[in-house]
């Protein structure tokens, strides 16, 4: 009898919990965690690229030391990226996010110019060391492209949840600290250049 009464009392609570779960009460923290995870992949892949650059510059310098302007541009762009201190709120901080995006874009452009210079040096293009670095750089650029795409999609889902019902209600009621996330805003032609970068062949 006591068991029956317990079940009767528990049943409305179970139904209520089921309804709340079905209404997306956990969507905002779930999507927030997903966005953070995708952002970590973006940062990791950009760091991987930055780590490749010193050896790349050193290898190119060995064959084309007089290409100082291009080599300096790459080195300086890489230094800017490496010295960036991202605040904890970077994903909801327009200025910090824009700074990150611009610095990475400058490094992408500098690398593109460096690779154009490489075309003029057949011996460099045939160097096993350069070929290995080229392969690693191409793989990293591909991973950057995928990581950015995944992050963009995660932000889209998260931001949409904050702006639509019932997500807006849950945000007001339970998650007032939840803020829209920043997203990449590079020009379309620049994005195409980034995505096509790994396809360039140097041998």
The answer to whether 140 touches 45, Cβ cutoff 8 Å, is yes
**Cβ neighbour number for residue 30 with a 10 Å cutoff:** 14
Residue 71 has pLDDT above 60, yes or no: yes
Confidence of residue 108 (pLDDT cuts 50, 70, 90): very high
Residue 186 has pLDDT above 50, yes or no: yes
Residue 2 has pLDDT above 70, yes or no: no
Query: Mean pLDDT, to the nearest integer, of 50-76?
Result: 94
pLDDT of residue 185: 79
pLDDT of residue 173: 93
pLDDT of residue 65: 87
Q: Evaluate if pTM is beyond 0.85.
A: no
The answer to whether 37 touches 129, Cβ cutoff 8 Å, is no
**Any idea what the Cα angle at residue 163 is, between residues 158 and 168, rounded to 5°?**
100
pLDDT of residue 203: 39
Residue 90 has pLDDT above 50, yes or no: yes
């Amino acid at each position: 009898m006591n068991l029956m009464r317990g079940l009767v009392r528990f049943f409305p609570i179970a139904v209520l919990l089921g309804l709340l779960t079905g209404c997306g009460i956990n969507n905002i923290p779930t999507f927030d965690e997903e966005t953070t995870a995708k952002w970590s992949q973006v940062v990791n892949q950009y760091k991987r690229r930055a780590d490749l650059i010193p050896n790349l510059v050193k290898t190119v310098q060995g064959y084309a030391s007089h290409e100082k302007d291009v080599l300096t541009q790459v080195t300086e762009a890489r230094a800017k990226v490496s010295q960036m201190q991202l605040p904890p709120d970077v994903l909801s901080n327009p200025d910090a996010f824009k700074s990150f995006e611009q610095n990475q874009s400058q490094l992408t452009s500098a690398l593109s110019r460096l690779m154009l210079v490489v075309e003029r040096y057949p011996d460099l293009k045939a160097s096993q060391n350069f070929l290995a670095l080229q392969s690693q750089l191409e793989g990293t650029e591909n991973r950057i492209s995928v990581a950015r795409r995944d992050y963009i999609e995660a932000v889209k889902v998260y931001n949409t949840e904050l702006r639509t019902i019932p997500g807006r209600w849950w945000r007001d009621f339970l998650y007032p600290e939840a803020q829209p996330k920043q997203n990449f805003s590079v020009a379309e032609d620049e994005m195409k250049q980034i995505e096509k970068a790994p396809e360039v062949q140097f041998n």
